[in-house]
A and B are shown apart, each in its own frame.
Chain A
């Protein structure tokens, strides 16, 4: 079965500094990978996704992620964080057959704290 690991439960970054959130997946075939962000008490907003092709994908709010098959990773990056980026970030993999048929499997999330 597919799984996603986010090794960092909490990350603290100073405003204006760069950010990298780690995500490792376990999946036998080509994974379909997503990053979502969740503000407290809110739903999930899609930041970006990877299905195939270019391994560097651009998302909303200045985020990007790089798919590295050799490292089974899909890390999220942002060159300069803003206080409004403070939130919970989830990496997710589409289960099995793609097309959303099996729902998403989420990592445990990384809580991002922004220091002024």
Chain B
């Protein structure tokens, strides 16, 4: 089973709202990722968590706050977003092996619209 689940599927929020995106995997993977994908563009890496620790933050604005409560869950907390933050937010996970043969598996994404 290579399933990564994301909730909600769709989210509409105002610029003053606080919301959270959730991602879950039960494959025993130890690395989890957030990507942002604008329409007709490729996914762009935002954050990487490795063994529940933030290992990469690709200069993402502080209005995006990731959290990894345990090895199966990954959250993205949203606050004071801008309309240009509207996008598909993709979560992925990988085994995070030392054999350099890691593969990322993606969830279906959350479609975020900021009004």
Co-complex (A, B): yes
Q: What is the bound-complex CA distance between A105 and B104, given in angstroms?
A: 12
Q: What is the bound-complex CA distance between A34 and B102, given in angstroms?
A: 11
* B43 adjacent to A106 (CB under 8 Å): yes
- B50 CB within 8 Å of chain A: yes
- A100 CB within 8 Å of chain B: yes
* A100 adjacent to B106 (CB under 8 Å): no
* A34 adjacent to B103 (CB under 8 Å): yes
* B103 adjacent to A43 (CB under 8 Å): no
In the complex, chain A residues whose CB is within 8 Å of the CB of B105: 46
Number of chain A interface residues as a range: 20 to 34
In the complex, chain B residues whose CB is within 8 Å of the CB of A94: 102
Q: Scoring A residues 30 to 60 as 1 if CB is less than 8 Å from chain B, else 0, what string do you get?
A: 0010101000011111100101000000000
Looking at B42, B45, B88, which has the most chain A CB atoms within 10 Å of its CB?
B42
* B106 adjacent to A43 (CB under 8 Å): yes
Given the contacts A51-B100, A98-B102, A99-B102, A42 and B45 also touching, CB distance less than 8 Å: no
Q: What is the bound-complex CA distance between A109 and B41, given in angstroms?
A: 7
* A49 adjacent to B103 (CB under 8 Å): yes
